[in-house]
Structure 1
Amino acid sequence: MAIRRIDLNLFRVFEAIMRHRSVAGAARELAITPSAVSHALARLRQLLDDPLFIAVDNGMTPTSRAQELAPTIKEGLLRFSEAVRSKTFDPSRSTRTFRIAMSDYATMMFLPCIMERIRTIGPNINLRIFPLSRLDLVGHLDSGRLEMAVGWFANLPKRMRRMPFAVEFEALVVRQGHPLTSEPVTMQRLFAFPHIVVELSGSEERTSDGFIDEQGVERRVWIERLLLDKEDENSGLVGRVAVSVPHYSAVPTLVSRSDMVATLPRSIALREAAREPIAVLDLPYDPLRVTIESVWHQRADQDAGLQWLASEVLQAAEALA
């Protein structure tokens, strides 16, 4: 069958009949006569060499071949419609506002660089940033209330697209002159000091690997993995959480004024060490490694503006690296 000989309107008729299970219902939806629907169905039957729909007492019932074709035809019509409606995106002239959920880490490390790029390329483009840890992420992306999320994730529904753009590691931070700076850090010495824990969810509800599960999305919460992984009967080590905070920004000042210790994303730790009297030390175990990603709904594959923004996020991350 030559594709160029097929009238795409025939598939609109197919999809309407499939939805209404009725020639009359399809005719009403398409604003054409029932005879025009019947004529289109006859042509489609000939093209596909299948009855497609069988007349029954209460309407039309699809054949197995029609049921097999239905999802592909529906998806194809949707993509064709999106392609026709899509417009080129000119950031220099756009006044669009993008709604993005970001983790605390992404807001601190990437947002300034992203905004610097956007200010130059798209001076009238606006961003609205929402807290990643406080949202029904799936529901907001499905409904369009959010257009993108930036953070670290594990499982995502198949309808979500993901673009990795950076890798982060954890590091130990203490005040300058802290007893741990005088010689290599061991687990025993580290557990002798109280800990500051960052729980981005603002809640103690968490799993042992640092992820919280929300409607099929496993979103990482940067927790004190040292306390969770090493505090067991075999090690004999017992740690104390002196302070739990929901933001990384609170940690450097707390550490600099006490003997408390904490782990932070290494890039944040190094940046804050240039501002506060704190030291960045190696951990006595293999550091946690996480991938930072941009996530959006698959329907935005045809959104030129959002694809441009995703590219800007990637380039901002490369510039920081």
Structure 2
Amino acid sequence: MKLLSRIDIRQLRILSSLLQERNLSRVADQLGVTQQAVSDQLKKLRETLDDRLFIRTSNGVIPTPYAESLQPKVEHILAALEDLLTPQTFDPRTVTRTLTLCSTDLEQIVILPKLLKILRREAPGVRLAVKKLELDQLSTSLLTGEVDLVISNPDFAPPSYPSLSLYPEHYACVASKANKTVRKQMTVEQIAQIPQVVVSPSRGDFSGAANSWFEQQGHPRNVVLSVPTFSAAKACIAESDICGFIPARLLPDARLRVIELDADVPGFEVIAVWHNRSSQDPLHQWLREQLLAVATTP
């Protein structure tokens, strides 16, 4: 309790901002105080916590390992205080905020237009910033608040974060309508021999979601192209002799033909993922409800 009496909310806000911005001048501007005031509070924190916390550099400051270890605790405390002071009555029509979503183009095509329609009608003051799916940065982006919500496949999502199942999806094997090497019905072995495209949102690898399924059938597939979006995959399939597996909600497509296979292609689940600190946020809760509603509407 003695240590608790030596720390106030201002110091926690400064610590949180410095861990994100790593620059005293920017933090001072954000909080509406002088740079000297930031330095004074940082000095008190160093004395209280018995650690340097930040090392000055020519470009700003670098947090010590101990300071970095404090970030999730400080964010949790600040989020709890915000929740404590947030009014219980929530009306989306009165909210003015910007939320950042991260997803593949599948969700941007299937879910985003319907969600936007609801937002424009019921929460006109809410702005959405939609970013592409950066698989290797998801956990960090959610932790730092750079991203508020991720819509993704569970295989890509941070397992320790809360999530909401939106809808099940399945793949369809497609080729160009002009492709004379394919038929309406084919075997897995035959399809495995045709050059294929896979969608890798940010890694650019050639593994693809159906690779293990092909290997289980005993027919490793011939992947010749990796693209970051399903839209690009469909465009490339339409103009070449390759085939690929496209989520059913992105079909039909006048340029493509669906190939029936002699085995069921595995599907996947689409989920929404967020950081714990947003679980009780009224706007976040409301947005998740709208996402579930539009995802389950035909």
In the TM superposition, what is the alpha-carbon distance from 1:163 to its structure 2 partner?
Answer: 0.6
Cα distance in 2 for partners of 1:157, 1:239 equals 29
Residue 281, structure 1, aligned to residue 266, structure 2: no
| 8 A Cα contact 2:173 2:244, kept in partner | yes
| Deviation, structure 1 residue 267 | 1.1
1:99 corresponding residue in structure 2: 100
Partner residue, 1:299: 277
Given that 2:237 and 2:243 are in contact with CA atoms closer than 8 Å, whether structure 1 keeps it comes out as: yes
Match of 1:156, SS state, is coil
- Within 2, Cα distance between the matches of 1:79 and 1:97? 17
The corresponding residue for 2:130 is 129
Number of residue pairs matched by the alignment: 230
Deviation of 1:170 after TM superposition, in Å, equals 0.8
Residues 1:278 and 1:157: Cα distance change in structure 2 (over 3 Å): closer
Q: CA shift at 1:153, angstroms?
A: 1.5
Structure 1 unaligned runs (5+)?
Answer: 1-16, 18-22, 31-75, 207-222
Partner in structure 2 of residue 89 of structure 1: 90
Q: CA deviation at 1:83?
A: 4.3
Instruction: Indicate conservation of the 8 Å contact 2:238/2:255, yes or no.
Output: yes
Q: Once the 2 structures are TM-superposed, how far is the Cα of residue 182 of structure 1 from its aligned partner?
A: 4.0
Correspondence for 1:230 among 214, 217, 222: 214
In structure 1, what is the Cα distance between the partners aligned to 2:206 and 2:223? 15
Aligned with 1:255 (options 230, 234, 237): 237
- List alignment gaps of at least 5 residues for structure 2: 9-75
The corresponding residue for 1:314 is 292
2:189 is matched with 188
Q: Which residue in the other structure is 1:9 paired with?
A: none
C-alpha distance in 1 between matches for 2:194 and 2:134: 28
Deviation at residue 99 of structure 1 after TM alignment = 1.2
Alignment check: 8 A CA contact 1:171 1:283 kept: no
Contact kept, 8 Å, 1:117 with 1:316, in 2: the verdict is no
Task: Detail structure 1 runs of 4+ shifted over 6 Å in the superposition.
Answer: 76-80
Cα pair 2:177 2:256 within 8 Å, conserved: yes
Equivalent residue number for residue 117 of structure 2: 116
Residues 194-225 of structure 1 deviation map (CA, whole Å, 9 limit, x = unaligned): 2122222232286xxxxxxxxxxxxxxxx152
Aligned match of 1:209: none
Per mean C-alpha deviation after superposition, the further-off stretch among 170-179 and 121-130 is: 170-179
Residue type at the aligned position of 1:84: L
- Does structure 2 conserve the Cα–Cα contact (< 8 Å) formed by 1:191 and 1:238? yes
Structure 1 residues 249 and 79: alpha-carbon distance in aligned structure 2, compared to 1, 3 A threshold? closer
| Pairwise CA distance, 1:291 | 1.1
Counterparts in 2 of 1:279 and 1:148: CA distance versus 1, 3 Å: same
3-state secondary structure, aligned to 1:201? coil
What CA distance in whole angstroms lies between the structure 2 residues aligned with 1:184 and 1:135?
38
Shift of 1:286: 2.1
Give CA-to-partner distance per residue, 1:132-162, whole Å, 9 cap, x none: 225511112112222111111246343x211
Q: TM-score, normalised by structure 1?
A: 0.63
Contact 2:170 2:267 in 1 (8 A): yes
The alignment partner of 2:279 has SS state of helix
C-alpha spacing 1:183/1:268, structure 2 compared with 1 (3 Å): closer
Give 1:173 shift.
0.7
CA distance in 1, matches of 2:110, 2:257: 19
Cα deviation for residue 187 of structure 1 reads: 2.3
Give the aligned CA root-mean-square deviation in angstroms.
Answer: 3.0
2:268 matched to which residue of 1?
A: 290
Q: Partners in 2 of 1:85 and 1:264 — Cα distance?
A: 46
Residue 36 of structure 1 aligns with which residue?
none
- The 5 A counterparts of 1:168-207 are 168-176=169-177, 178-179=179-180, 182-204=183-205
Computing the radius of gyration from Cα coordinates, the structure with the larger value is: 1
1:143 and 1:238 map into 2 onto residues whose CA distance is: 40
Counterpart contact for 1:86–1:302, Cα < 8 Å:
no
**Alpha-carbon distance in 1 for matches of 2:5, 2:125:** 45
